[in-house]
């Protein structure tokens, strides 16, 4: 994805709820207020040395709303870790636990892979 595409990508994902959007906007406003009012580096960047290509690469870009979406929470990492513990403990102590753990690992891997992230 090019820089321009990133900058123009402001559409909210289809499944994003209205509540999420408003919460995001609110948080964005708060962080604007919290942000330190320091001198921006943009003006310095313009007067800097280097090729135009390099300067363009360095230019700051505003985050898109898609960027501001934090990674979604997921239960699968916890579940997969637990399943692996059961399977590995079973490998030394009890074959039934090993089998149960193995099945759980498979379920968790599939669940992890199929989980929607956006």
Interface residues with another protein (CB under 8 A) are 19, 27-28, 31-32, 34-36, 38-42, 44-45, 48, 57-63, 67-78, 80-82, 84-85, 88-89, 91-93, 112
Q: How far is the CB of 78 from another protein (least distance, A)?
A: 5
Q: Which is nearer to another protein, 14 or 34 (CB)?
A: 34
Q: How far is the CB of 69 from another protein (least distance, A)?
A: 8
Q: Which is nearer to another protein, 11 or 54 (CB)?
A: 54
Torsion of CA 85, 87, 93, 99, to 10 degrees: 160
CA distance 43 to 32: 20
Distance from CA of residue 50 to its chain's centroid? 32
The Cβ of residue 64 has, within 10 Å, a number of other Cβ atoms equal to: 14
Q: How far is the CB of 76 from another protein (least distance, A)?
A: 7
Q: Which is nearer to another protein, 35 or 96 (CB)?
A: 35
Residues 101 and 89 sit within 8 Å (Cβ to Cβ)? yes
Q: How far is the CB of 41 from another protein (least distance, A)?
A: 5
Contacts of 15 (CB under 8 A, 6+ apart): 116, 118
């Amino acid at each position: 994805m090019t820089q321009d595409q990133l900058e123009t990508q402001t559409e909210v994902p289809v499944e994003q709820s209205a509540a999420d959007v408003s919460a995001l906007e609110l948080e964005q406003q708060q962080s604007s207020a919290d942000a330190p009012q320091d001198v921006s580096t943009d003006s310095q960047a313009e007067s800097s040395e280097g090729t135009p290509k390099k300067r363009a690469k360095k230019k700051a870009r505003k985050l898109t709303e898609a960027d501001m979406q934090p990674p979604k929470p997921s239960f699968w990492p916890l579940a997969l870790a637990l399943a692996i513990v059961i399977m590995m403990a079973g490998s030394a102590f009890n074959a039934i636990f090993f089998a149960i753990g193995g099945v759980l690992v498979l379920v968790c891997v599939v669940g992890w892979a199929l989980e929607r992230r956006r």
